[in-house]
Each structure stands twice: as structure tokens, then as C-alpha cells.
Amino acid sequence: MSDPETLSVTIVDGYVDEPAHFGVPPYISTYPRYTAGALVDAGVPREEITYHTIDGLRDEPDRWRDVDEADLLIYLGGMTVPGKYVGGTPAEPDEVRKLAWTASGTSLMGGPVKFGVGEENAGATETERQDLDFDFVAKGDVEAAVHDVVESGLEGFDNRMRDVDEVSRWAREGAFIVEQHPNHPEYLIAELETSRGCAYRCSFCTEPLYGNPTFRPPPSVVGEVDALSDLGVKHFRIGRQADILAYGGDGEAPNPDALRSLYGGIREVAPDLETLHLDNMNPITIVEWPEKSREGIRIIAEHNTPGDTAAFGLESADPLVQEENNLNVTAEECFEAVRIVNEEAGWRPGGPRDPRPDGHASADEDAPTRLPKLLPGINLLHGLKGEREETYERNLEFLRRVYDEGYMLRRVNIRQVMSFDGTEMSETGAEIANDHKKLFKRYKRQVREEIDNPMLARVAPTGTVLPDVHLEYHQDGKTFGRQLGTYPLLVGIPGERELGKTTDVAVVDHGYRSVTGVPYPLDLNAASMDELTTVPGIGSSTAGDIVVNRPYESVADAEFGGEVDLEGFATARPLERAD
Ligand code: SF4
């Protein structure tokens, strides 16, 4: 029998990526936070709980000692959607096995890893359930398993789900773990759960394995944000739910009052938050309850921060694929939902469509252009049952229509299916995805060129200001970074700037999924040749002239000639004097 008060516990975060839950840095998922809270609730002292990310273990081999020496090792991880990540590298199955072998104490594994493990974390793969040599695998909620295994003296637990009271308590009590995350405090975004489960049953999706939706009431989520905010977290994403519009309702229809309590409550307890984004919204909800949805979308856009994305799971615009996979939204319905989100939330702060009385007043030509408040994103999935060549054409047609009719999409996400036990797709597996690999590649390139690039220029036109871009890595003489938030744009800035810092950036050019930017405001008295020539219309000879004729008293003072319009994003700072 182990006494909780003397128990040392190490939590290792191998990261998660589920259809409605993200936890690869700079995100921290709910799992380590709730697990830490469950441990404290079961009597384990906070100072006995150590938290490492898998990247933290890779960076500092000494940290493996905490894995070895803990009385209880908890591994959290699992990828149920494929992806490529900039901020961290998810644990590979071999690393997870090594954790189990290294642990001298009891080992327990949980999170979406319970749904299965593939050869690699990639699309078009099949997975199977494995214990990866751990003593225990939590087949219910890992936080409930952790709580119960500690109470049992590390003897065992029943697989069960936690209830609302538990999650409310554990979310608050476990918030302290964020301080041990390598990205804390500045570059960390906390994923927030508002509900689990889904009313629909798409063939490939693991979310229905959680059953019909259950919601955390507003005070439960708001209390958690309060605790996280007290610990210095300023960035939040309401990403752990299948459909934010259904929040607090009957499982399908929107409940704007619940959304108002949720968003209003968060703003009240974290008035200084810098990011408040969401992830999933179901387009079918918008089409079936348009008025309530419009109200809900307006509430979100009033409280969120710019650049927010409502990810729509269209998955396929082909009716045959929709039918065979039980997908719940048609291309026509999805188009309608795109239109409604654009109308209600596609405005820019301080821009002409800003509906807020003070926002509208500030709308003037000198206000920097910001990203729209909330735009739809489109998820398309390939390798589903019934997929044919025509499917690819139909998807392209849908995207072209959105573009041609003048609407904005924040991003298009194209993936190949991963097949999991317990979902209908497990019978088909990765066969169709593998057969269509060539087709998929060609189509992906078409989407990038025909849709993504011009759409990005519409969403973030030249001169759009992106505040607080975190500088992450150098490549080809440039510095790349992203803002914190949901599906942030990758920004390339000329020159190698100091990493780990943040800077405001003005967009000057567009790639497929990334933009080129210059520091904002661009100081004509200090900008480098590289920065100047990145601005559209400034060639190297104009840039040379700008440098030679320094200093300038004002932007107007500098003669560029030609069509160059720098007024919106350049400045001329006085030079510092030696005296
Ligand atoms: S609507 Fe379909 S894809 Fe979305 S969470 Fe529900 S089951 Fe999954």
C-alpha cells in the first residue's frame, strides 16, 4: 500500500492530436492539467508531481531520472489525426516503450493512445491497440484512472469516465502544472474543454467514441481559466469540443445564452488575455438553426481575438462519399454556413464593418488592417469509403465557388484518413488512401496554387498587421515565426533575427499557407536592404536610395517614386543622438 502523501509522480506528455483536442506545443492539452489535478485531489502533494514534455526529455537526458525514480509514471499521448508540427515532435512508439522500460515504479498510460498506435504518426496508416509494455492502460478517462489508482495504493482501477464535478475540481487544482511546461508563460496556449462527444457518427471519427455530447457548464470552464490566468497563461483556445455553437444546448441546437455566459465569464476573469480562439464549429448547426447560430457567432466575434477560425468538417463535397461515410453536411449546406460566418464575423477590428460602437468610431484610414475576427476553415478528408476521381473535382469546385463569390476562408486543411478500431473506417482501412496517393498529391498542389494563395491575399492583404509574432527558427537567411492561436499563419521575415522574441509584422507577400512580412512599423531610418526590397514595388536600386538618403523626418519625406505606398506600415524614427 502506498501512501499518497509520500508518492512521487512523473507525468510525461507525448502530445495529443484528436479531431477535437490539440496538445502539441505551443499548446498544452487538458490531459496533463486534469491528471495533475486528479493526483492532488487523491492526496499527492503538488511538489511531488513532476511534468516533462517528450521534447523536454529529448533535450535534457538527465530528466529521464525522473522517469526512472518516480513511484508512478504516467504517460499521456496519442494521435488520432495525422499532422506535421512545428512546435514539437510527438512521441514515437519506440520512445513510449522506452519510458515503460525505464520506469522502476508503476507505469500507467492514457489519453487517445488508448484508441490505437500506428507504425508512425501519419495519414493513410492503420493502427492497433497496444500496451507498449506499460503496467496499466487507462481505457476510460486517464485522469479518473490516475485518481483511482492512487486511492487504491497503486493496486488498480476500474475503467471509468470522470463526472462534471470531478473535471471542474481537477481542472482548477491541476492548473499549476503549466508552470513546468517549457513554453510557460509567454509562448503557451491552453486548450480548453467545453464538451466531449458528438451527436453525429461520421465513419472515420473517434469523437463519437465519447458518446453523445456532454457539456461542462460555464462556471466550470471559467473557473479553470481563472486559475490558469492567475498562473500567467494569457492565451486560450476553446478547442476541445465537436461544435462550439452547440455549447450548453440540447446537443444539437445552439444556446446563445450559454455562449454568452462562457465567453463573457472568460473575459471577466482574464481581462488581460491576449488570445481567445476556438476550433470546431459544425456547419450543419448553422444551416439548421440560422438565427440562433447568427446570434451565437456574433457573441463569439464580440469576445474573441482576431484571426479566429471556425473549422468546418465538410470532409467531402462528393454526395457519394457523404452518403457512404455518414457525413452530416452537404457542399451546398457548407457553402451557406461559410456565407453566414463571413457575414456575421468576417469584420476586422477598427475596420468599416466593425459592429462595436467604439470599434466603428476608430475606423479610419490610418488604423492598421487586422485579420478578420472569425472566419471558417474547411477540413477535407481523403481515402474515405466511396472516394473516386470525381471526388477530387467536386472538392475543388466547392473551393472555387467560395473564392469566386467573394467569401473568405481562413484556411483549407486537407488530410488523408487514419483508420481506428471502433470506427466504421476500420473495415476499409488505408486502402483507398493508398490507391489514390498520386491523385491526392496533384490535387493538393492545385488547392495550394488555385485557392490557398489568392485566398490568403484576400484574408491578409498587403499591409495587414500581425501583432506578437513569435520568432521560432531560421531558414535560408530568413526568420520564421507564428502568432499564438488557432492555425496561425507562418510568417517569414527577411534576415536572421533573435529567436524566442516577439515582433509585430506587416504582411508584404503571400505564399500558399505562409506570408512574408516586415517588422511593423518598418523604420525607414533603420530597415535593412533585405527588409526594404521585400516591400512590393521597392527594387534594390530604390532600397539603395532609401538607405543612402537617410535620415528621414517622416515617411512622406522619403521619395520612392513609382507606385510604392508605405504610409500604412512604415515610420521614420528619429535617430538616437550621441550627445
Ligand atoms: S460531426 Fe462527424 S467529424 Fe465532427 S466530431 Fe462529430 S462525428 Fe466527428
Cβ–Cβ under 8 Å, residues 45 and 108:
no
Q: What is the DSSP string of 231-250?
A: TT--EEEEEESS-GGGTTTT
Q: Which CATH number fits domain 464-571: 1.20.1080.10, 3.65.10.10, 1.10.150.320, 1.10.730.10?
A: 1.10.150.320
Q: What's the rounded Cα separation, in Å, for the pair 158 and 450?
A: 53
What is the rounded average pLDDT for all residues in the chain?
91
Q: For residues 523 and 169, what is the distance between their CA atoms, to the nearest angstrom?
A: 50
| 1 has a pLDDT exceeding 70 | no
pLDDT of residue 563: 62
| pLDDT, tens only, 421-443 | 676 766 777 788 788 889 999 99
207 Cβ closer than 6 Å to some ligand 1 atom: yes
Query: What is the mean predicted confidence (pLDDT) over 550-558?
Result: 87
The pLDDT value recorded for residue 579 is 45
Atom of ligand 1 nearest to the CA of 242: 5
Residue 240: CA count within 13 A, CB half-sphere: 24
The Cα–Cα gap between 35 and 25 comes to: 18
Q: Which of these ranges, 116-130, 181-195, 248-262, has the smallest mean pLDDT?
A: 116-130
Lowest mean pLDDT: which of 103-107, 131-135, 312-316, 431-435? 431-435
Looking from the CA of residue 326, the nearest atom of ligand 1 is 2
CA dihedral over 185, 490, 329, 384, signed as positive or negative: negative
Does 286 score more than 70 pLDDT? yes
CB 275 within 8 A of CB 469: no
Q: Is the CB of 206 under 6 A from ligand 1?
A: no
Predicted local distance difference test score (pLDDT) of residue 570: 85
Asked if residue 4 has its Cβ within 6 Å of ligand 1, the reply is: no
- DSSP string for residues in 78-123: EESS----SS--PPPHHHHHHHHHH-SSEEEEESGGGG-B-SSS-S
* Nearby residues of 505 by Cβ (< 8 Å), 6 or more positions away: 465, 466, 469, 481, 491, 493, 517, 518, 519, 520
Backbone angles phi, psi at 482, to 5 degrees: -145, 155
- What's the pLDDT at 431? 81
Q: For position 285, what pLDDT does the model report?
A: 97
328 lines ligand 1 (CB under 6 A): yes
Q: What does each C-alpha distance from 527 to 242, 462, 477, 495, 507 come to in angstroms?
A: 45, 18, 16, 11, 15
Q: Is the CB of 313 under 6 A from ligand 1?
A: yes
The string of pLDDT tens digits covering residues 250-262 is 989 999 999 999 9
Q: Quote the DSSP letter at residue 447.
A: I
Q: Kindly tell me if the per-residue pLDDT of 124 is higher than 90.
A: no
Q: Please report the pLDDT score of residue 575 as a whole number.
A: 66
For residue 46, count other CB atoms closer than 10 A to its CB.
12
Question: What percent of the chain stands above pLDDT 70?
Answer: 91
What spacing in Å lies between the alpha carbon of 573 and ligand 1's midpoint? 52
Query: Is ligand 1 within 6 A of the CB of residue 198?
Result: yes
Rg (C-alpha) for the chain, rounded Å, is: 25
Neighbours of 257 (CB within 10 A): 14
Residue-level pLDDT at 211: 87
Q: d(Cα 172, Cα 80) in Å, to the nearest integer?
A: 27
State the pLDDT confidence band at 578, using cuts at 50, 70 and 90: very low
CB burial string 545-571: b at 16+ within 10 A, e below: ebeeeeebeebeebebeeebebebbbb
pLDDT mean over 308-319 = 96
Q: What's the CA gap between 11 and 261, in Å, rounded?
A: 33
Distance, CA of 224 to CA of 168 (rounded, Å): 7
Mutate to test the pocket of ligand 1, among 22, 80, 81, 207 (most ligand atoms within 8 A of CB): 207
Give the per-residue pLDDT at 112: 85
Q: Please give the share of the chain, as a percent, with pLDDT higher than 90.
A: 74
For the Cβ of 41 lying below 6 angstroms from any atom of ligand 1, the answer is no
The pLDDT of residue 202 is above 90? no
Q: What is the pLDDT of residue 59?
A: 96
Domain 4-457: assigned CATH number: 3.80.30.20
Minimal CA–CA distance to 164: which of 221, 207, 110?
221
Ligand 1 nearest-atom number relative to CA 205: 8
Where b means 16+ CB within 10 Å and e means fewer, 463-488 reads: bbbbbbbbbbeeeeebbbbbbbbbbb
Say if residues 372 and 485 touch (Cβ distance below 8 Å): no
| Domain range annotation of the chain | 4-457, 464-571
Q: What is the pLDDT of residue 436?
A: 85
Which range, of 84-93, 95-104, 126-135, averages the lowest pLDDT? 126-135
Q: Closest Cα to residue 462, out of 499, 422, 500, 508?
A: 508
Residue 372 has pLDDT above 50, yes or no: yes
Residue with cell 463535397: 317
Mean pLDDT along residues 215-223 = 97
Residues in the chain: 579
* Count of alpha carbons within 13 angstroms of residue 570, beta-carbon side: 25
